[in-house]
Amino acid sequence: MDRYPLHAADLLRQRALLTPQREAVHDLHTGQRYTFAEINNRANQLANMLRSKFGVKKGDRVSILAQNNIAYVDLLYGLAKLGAVFAPLNWRLTAHELTYIVRDCQPRVIVCGPEYIDVFNAVQASIPV
The pLDDT of residue 3 is: 59
The pLDDT of residue 33 is: 98
Q: What pTM was computed for the model?
A: 0.89
Mean pLDDT of all residues belonging to the chain: 93
Q: For residues 109 and 117, what is the distance between their CA atoms, to the nearest angstrom?
A: 15
Q: What domains, with CATH codes, occur in the chain? A: 8-124 (3.40.50.980)
**End-to-end Cα spacing for the chain:** 42
Closest CA to 39 of 51, 29, 31, 47: 47
**Is the pLDDT confidence value at 4 over 80?**
no
Closest CA to 24 of 9, 34, 15, 14: 34
Q: pLDDT above 70 covers what percent of the chain?
A: 96
> In the predicted model, what is the mean pLDDT of residues 79-88?
96
Helix (H, G, I), strand (E, B) or coil at 14: helix
**Is the pLDDT confidence value at 98 over 60?**
yes
Q: CB atoms < 10 A from the CB of 126, how many? A: 13
Predicted confidence (pLDDT) per residue in 12-53, tens digit: 999 999 999 999 999 998 999 999 999 999 999 999 999 999
**Is the pLDDT confidence value at 108 over 70?**
yes
